[in-house]
Amino acid sequence: MTLPFDPDWDRLCMPRLGVAALTRMAFEGRDLYPLWVELMEKVTDDAPGAGLGMDLSVIAQLRGDKKTGLAIQRDSLLLHQAFQVKDARLRDIPQKPALRVLALAAASDLGANTPVDFLLAGSDVSLATLYLGPEVPVPAAIPDHDVAIVAAPASEGAALAAIESLTRRWNTPVLNAPARIRGLERDILYRNLSGVEGLVIPPTLRVERARLLQGLPRDLGLDFPVIIRPLGSHAGFGLSKIESGAALGAYLKERTEDGFFLSPFIDYASSDGQFRKYRVALVGGAPYPVHMAVCEEWKVWYLNADMALSAANRAEEARFLLAFGETFGARHAPALAQMAERIGLDYVLIDCAQTRDGKLLVFEADHCAIVHDMDPVNVYPYKPGAMRKLFGAFAAMLKDKARQARIEAA
């Protein structure tokens, strides 16, 4: 499939507010219903209306109505597939951007794709997103761009296949190749990272429901307790620790999925009994800290850790972010470097911890997890600098890839 590139972004890419701007409004506690009403009054059954529809889809999902949001997205993508994103502070799209970036995304739910508009918010880079999927028409022309980045997740196989076919003969650089993204699936990742010195990653196995209904498969080398989650789930959806056969049966009665990932539970509590989970971004192979969370429970997310309620935990996170290069980053530099090489992605996030003997314990690698700068500065004064550094590195990487491509083409 070879399609022409067209430099007319204003014609090919319909404007929209985008995920970052709308999520920021919701995060700040703004009522999105008035905006919903305003957009509903303006939406039309054409390409410009599709841009409004994509924003309506996000608003519906942010307000908890995923079914309606996905239905609106489906109808919008039948009308048009490429969209321009305004700056997260709702300024006009840059007239003379330093770089034009095309994100290749899956037609999926909120949070499925790499949140590129968060990473480029406030930069001198223009971003357009082209959505692809099994029911989404492929446009007649591709918005001309300096560099493309694949934003679709590993779980969206049809979108990745469409992206692979579409980009096969492009002469512009395509970052985060689909083949490498597929390697982030949990059962593939652990095999790929096996043997990295200083790194621990629990074996993860893909098991069908029918087999689990007969009990824990002993031939897989697992014993209780185990960690279980549905295939394709993210953000902890369906994640549970199973202590016994009875608990496994009860879990399956509550779930409807046909397949699950299983892995042994590793107790990574620190000497004080608290669990510490870290998120690190690898940008062009270089590590950047994103956040850390401290929690009494093993199942740690930043939101359930209640970091805002603990000055001591925030002080610990501040040390992690501000002294990363001399502490955590230095301690695990060899393992992180080997990870970056084996994973082979231009941008990826690592959720990890430290074992009691000081090794890097890897839970998952994902290029789609959210990275943002929305936390209130009065509570987290140490975060803006770390996020600016990360966002700057991401934009610089994109510019460097485009520059290298121009040199090679000359």
Task: Summarize pLDDT for 76-100 with one digit per residue, the tens.
Answer: 999 999 999 864 334 445 567 889 9
End-to-end CA, the chain: 25
- Residue spans in the chain of domains classed CATH 3.30.1490.20: 203-264
Provide the pLDDT for residue 235: 64
8 Å CB contact between 119 and 391 = yes
DSSP lists the bridge partners of residue 128 as: 84, 102
The yes-or-no verdict on residue 405 having pLDDT over 70 is yes
> Which residues 6+ apart lie within 8 Å of 188 measured at CB?
182
Tokens in use for 366? Answer: 């994902």
Considering only the top CATH level, what class is 203-264? alpha beta
What is the model's pLDDT at position 91?
A: 45
> Where in the chain is CATH 3.30.470.20?
275-404
Q: Once rounded to an integer, what is the mean pLDDT over residues 372-383?
A: 94
What pLDDT score does 231 carry? 86
Predicted TM-score (pTM) of the model is 0.93
Residue 264 three-state SS: strand
Encoded tokens for 231:
């295939």
CATH fold for domain 275-404: D-amino Acid Aminotransferase; Chain A, domain 1 (3.30.470)
